[in-house]
A and B are shown apart, each in its own frame.
Chain A
């Protein structure tokens, strides 16, 4: 290899490459490059949730005594809507009826794992009270409902919730119907009952 330079009078001169100098340049560039990459780390990590954001999201308590049969209460947990639906016997019936029409009737999928205490027919600790996040597992819209049978076009003769964005439908246990954009059932947040009327959302530890 050689390199072309010019003399003061403008004549081109071929000179052999100084391998030692070239090696020094390569090493210097490699170290400089590593420095640039290292310097990028704090910029990239500044995108992660801050300590304040991580600290937020404490569990919230909800009083369910005021929810009349068939009605729903929405509480905020970690900035998301959590629904507490007091289901009537007729509503519970409608869940059993659609076992064959929902994609994951036994809540076995693991993308949004259903806690063991809610992995039952009605996806709840207490039969009547459904506690789910009102966030569609497709792209995170907020489904509407609950609709009675024959009220909503997309819901048809079934009862449940409809996501207005992409038309996913869920039964009254938050289970997604087959062949809909949403792959998973509505997530059940960790929760436990502190007393008969008081539910704690965001914490299910036994102690």
Chain B
């Protein structure tokens, strides 16, 4: 093959002649990737999430240099990092604060997608990769939380591993398989360490690459929820787009510097964040004979945890009524006789299951569904307009209502269960699921505003 004729000179020209992919990819993903020019505040979180990912990997590498994944040494090695390793406390607080901020940023990033319909066709794959990233992030956080081998590490892992034990037939064997011992112990700690430092991060990085490639193939959505590729100039560049680099790299860097202010305020002044980022009980070494008097997962898991706790025997009746209502609605809407039969049979099977299997199992199922349901968003939303800007105002308030339910569930999940709190969590659990289950119907209702042909943009 003939040598590639480079447009560059000097060292870059020398490299480009031998590896033209470098500059062609830089163009494709940065200097000639056209992003809509009306991005607002909500579009900063993807870039910040990548910065946090890099921060977690870097701080993680340095922590592994001092940490010991051994049930007898782990707790002391973390304290050694905190007290004796020069700058160790800083590296660890960056890592622990980074974990919580990762979730804050990812939740805001997901909220942006819900607000502007960024999951809608043709961006379903971007959304699916994003949901997988979220799942992997949860796994990463869970595995990492065992490593300090404190009381919450130990008993938290005990509870989560036992969630798998609730699955009928294979459950107890599966829990044993995950733990590698009859109790959470050294075998569990070592394998969780392996997952936390190498297995999950590799998958996570691959998914982030897939997420970005899929995004750059179809192009970014924007607050108006319209396609900028519909209007191109003579060179085929979108008229309403600007090159990602330098326009959005600078925009992202500007917002990153603002984001780092609260981030470092937490790192330096409130690393425990009142027990929400680092739980008090985790400063006590793991004790397999005496659990803490209050166990709650870290704040980013508590909404789902609340749903798990809300599923009691009495709640199964409410759930059964909801399931019957849901299937009646489906039977009324769908005309295909095979589909109708499947729905009827499915409903009966599920109803039988509600009252033959333990509520404990259904709690685990509901918790799983509450996370997995995000995957279905592109197919649940049938709104004619993507963006909330052009949807009926009450759609927006419904979304806000769901967010509030999510936040209150999150708060309740951090608190001890009292009868009143459980009742409230049950009501909010119903609301949480109704938002998604009824979306195919409500998302079409109401009066939609006309969607503009070109993006709305006011130069500063």
A residues within 8 Å of B by Cβ? 47-50, 53, 57, 74, 76, 78-81, 134, 138-142, 144, 153-154, 164-167, 178-183
Contacts and interface: CB of A to CB of B under 8 A. Distances in A.
Interface residues of B, number: 41
Contact of A179 (B158, B292, B312): B312
A135 to B, nearest CB: 9
27 contacts: A48-B177, A49-B176, A49-B179, A53-B181, A53-B182, A79-B181, A79-B288, A138-B360, A139-B159, A139-B163, A139-B165, A140-B159, A140-B165, A142-B291, A144-B293, A153-B418, A154-B418, A164-B293, A164-B416, A165-B159, A166-B309, A167-B417, A167-B422, A181-B312, A181-B363, A183-B358, A183-B359
Nearest to B289: A81
Given A179-B314, A183-B358, A78 B183 contact: yes
A50 B180 contact: yes
Nearest to A48: B177
Contacts of B422: 167
Contacts of B336: none
Nearest to A46: B180
A140 B363 CA distance: 15
B155 A141 contact: yes
Interface in B408-442: 416-418, 422
Given A79-B181, A138-B360, A142-B290, 4 more contacts: A47-B177, A53-B182, A81-B288, A141-B159
Interface string B165-196: 11000000000111111110101000100000
A197 B289 CA distance: 23
Contact of B309 (A78, A134, A181): A181
Contacts of B182: 49, 53, 57, 78-79
A74 B159 contact: no
A53 B187 contact: yes
B360 A165 contact: no
A193 B162 CA distance: 31
B185 to A, nearest CB: 6
B294 interface: yes
B199 to A, nearest CB: 12
Contact of A47 (B161, B191, B417): B191
Contact of B288 (A49, A80, A165, A178): A80
Contacts of A182: 360
B314 A53 contact: no
A48 B191 CA distance: 11
Contact of A80 (B183, B360, B416): B183
A43 B169 CA distance: 23
Contacts of A80: 183, 288-289
B313 interface: yes
A180 B416 contact: no
A176 to B, nearest CB: 11
A7 B293 CA distance: 77
Contacts of A74: 289-290
B59 to A, nearest CB: 29
Contact of A49 (B181, B289, B313): B181
Contacts of B165: 139-140
B288 A141 contact: no
A47 B180 contact: yes
B417 A79 contact: no
B158 A141 contact: yes
Contact of B185 (A79, A139, A141, A183): A79
Contacts of B314: 179
A141 B181 contact: no
B245 to A, nearest CB: 37
Interface string B353-379: 000001110010000000000000000
A164 B294 contact: yes
B93 to A, nearest CB: 28
Contact of A180 (B185, B187, B312): B312
B407 interface: no
Contacts of A167: 309, 416-418, 422
A149 B177 CA distance: 41
B295 interface: yes
B180 A79 contact: no
Nearest to A79: B183
A59 B183 CA distance: 16
Contacts of B161: 140
A179 B417 contact: no
A19 to B, nearest CB: 34
Contact of B289 (A76, A144, A166): A76
A39 to B, nearest CB: 18
By Cβ-Cβ distance, the 8 closest A-B pairs, closest first, are A142-B291, A79-B183, A167-B417, A140-B162, A81-B289, A139-B162, A183-B358, A139-B159
A139 B314 CA distance: 19
Contacts of A164: 291-295, 416
A49 B187 contact: yes
A33 to B, nearest CB: 22
A97 to B, nearest CB: 21
Interface in B269-311: 288-295, 308-309, 311
